[in-house]
Amino acid sequence: MKRNIHKKSHCSYMIHFFSYLVLLLLLICGNVTAQNYSTSLVKTIKKVKPSIIAVGTYHPLSRPPVKFYGTGFVYSKNGYAITAEHVISAIYQKDDIDNLYAFFPKTGNSEKVKARVVTENKRYDLSIIKLEGSGFSYVQLGDSSTVEEGQSIALCGYPYGPVFGLYPTTHTGVISNISPIAIPVKNMSLLSNRMITALKDPYTIFQLDCTAFPGNSGDLCSYLKPVR
Is pLDDT of 145 > 90?
A: no
The region of weakest confidence among 3-7, 45-49, 67-71, 106-110 is 3-7
Between CA 28 and CA 44 the distance in angstroms is: 8
Is pLDDT of 22 > 90?
A: no
Between CA 176 and CA 182 the distance in angstroms is: 16
More confident residue, 127 or 166: 127
Domain ranges of the chain: 12-223
Q: Could you tell me the end-to-end alpha-carbon distance of the chain, in angstroms, rounded to an integer?
A: 49
More confident residue, 29 or 161: 161
We find that the CATH architecture of domain 12-223 is Beta Barrel (2.40)
Residue 13 — φ and ψ, nearest 5°? -70, -10
Between CA 54 and CA 146 the distance in angstroms is: 29
**85: pLDDT confidence band, cut at 50, 70 and 90?**
very high
Residue 51 — φ and ψ, nearest 5°? -100, -5
Is pLDDT of 82 > 60?
A: yes
Give the residue among 126, 112, 110 at the shortest CA–CA distance from 11: 126
Q: Residue 224 has what pLDDT?
A: 44
More confident residue, 164 or 227: 164
**27: pLDDT confidence band, cut at 50, 70 and 90?**
very low
- Edge-to-edge strand ranges of the sheet holding 169-180: 204-209, 169-180, 152-157, 220-223
Q: Residue 7 has what pLDDT?
A: 42
Asked whether 82 and 23 are in contact (CB, 8 A), the reply is yes
Between CA 118 and CA 12 the distance in angstroms is: 13
Q: Is 191 helix (H, G, I), strand (E, B) or coil?
A: coil
- The pLDDT tens digits of the residues spanning 164-181 come to 777 888 888 888 988 887
CA atoms within 13 A on the CB side of 94: 16
Q: DSSP assignment, residue 189? A: G
Q: Of 23-32, 97-106, 180-189, which one has max mean pLDDT?
A: 97-106
